[in-house]
Amino acid sequence: MDSTNTVADLINESREVLYGETKECVTLENVYQLMVGMNERLTTIEKGMLQVTQINRTLTTMVHNFGELKTKVSNVESDVNKLKSKSATTESDIASIKNKNVNIDRDMKQMKKDNSETNRNMQGLSDFIDDFRAKHESNVKEVSGIRTAMSKAVNDFEDMSHELKQEIKVSINEVKEENDELKDTIIDLQCRSMKNNLIFTGLREPENENTENLIRGFIKDELHIYHKLELGNVHRFGTGAQPGKRGRPRPIVARFIYHNDLAMVMSNTYRLKGKQYGE
């Protein structure tokens, strides 16, 4: 009885907790309804637990994503610092570019000034070319006139040249005839003059020699002719050893004034037999 009351009290308390009501009589139907209600509550609690688990997973994912986000934020901060450094470098480059731009502006002003001077020079050159062209046209006309005059002069010269050639041919023929006559005269004179000439060979040629005295000494010492002979021109000719040098000496030609003197010398040449001299 006490046990039944205790169970009944427990059920009533449970019912009161579940439904907020208290009844004096507890039946099996009430117990069944209580169990059904508890089952529904447990089912609701299980669903809530599933939601809690899902929330935990979501929170875990959010924490993980937050960590990645923090890493990305750190990377972004590093990139921002790099950008700041690059920005400082860029500002320095911009300052340098500004300085260069100032120099370029100065150079552009100088170029404009030079261009203005060049334009003035070009204008002067254009004026010079125009003046040169005018003078050239005038010169062309003058050259054309000169060519015409030269052509006429060439034609006249050709006519005169033809006449002059004819005259030269006649003169040359006359000169040839005179030259032939002179040759005959010279040959005759040479033949006459060679009759009294005598050639001596083998006589050494000392430095600063007196050729006539050398021949007179030779005639006296080698041919034993002691009286004075009358000689005309006496000289060496041809090629041979130089004065004071070893080798075959140059021959000497001597012209005798009198043929008898030449004949006397020739009659004594037998004395030279076996010696290096010749005549």
Judge if pTM exceeds 0.85. no
Answer for the pair 247, 241: CB distance below 8 angstroms, yes or no: yes
Query: Cα–Cα distance between 90 and 238 in angstroms, integer?
Result: 102
Please give the radius of gyration of the chain, using alpha carbons only, rounded to the nearest integer. 75
Go through the chain and tell me how many residues it has. 279
Three-class secondary structure of residue 188 per DSSP? helix
Of 153-162, 181-190, 229-238, the least confident:
181-190
User: What is the identity of the amino acid at 13?
Assistant: E
Q: What six digits make up the tokens of 202?
A: 């083998």
Condensed to tens digits (0 to 9), the pLDDT of residues 187-245 reads 445 545 678 999 999 898 888 899 999 999 999 999 999 999 999 999 999 887 777 67
Condensed to tens digits (0 to 9), the pLDDT of residues 20-53 reads 555 555 577 777 877 887 888 788 888 878 887 8
Three-class secondary structure of residue 202 per DSSP? coil
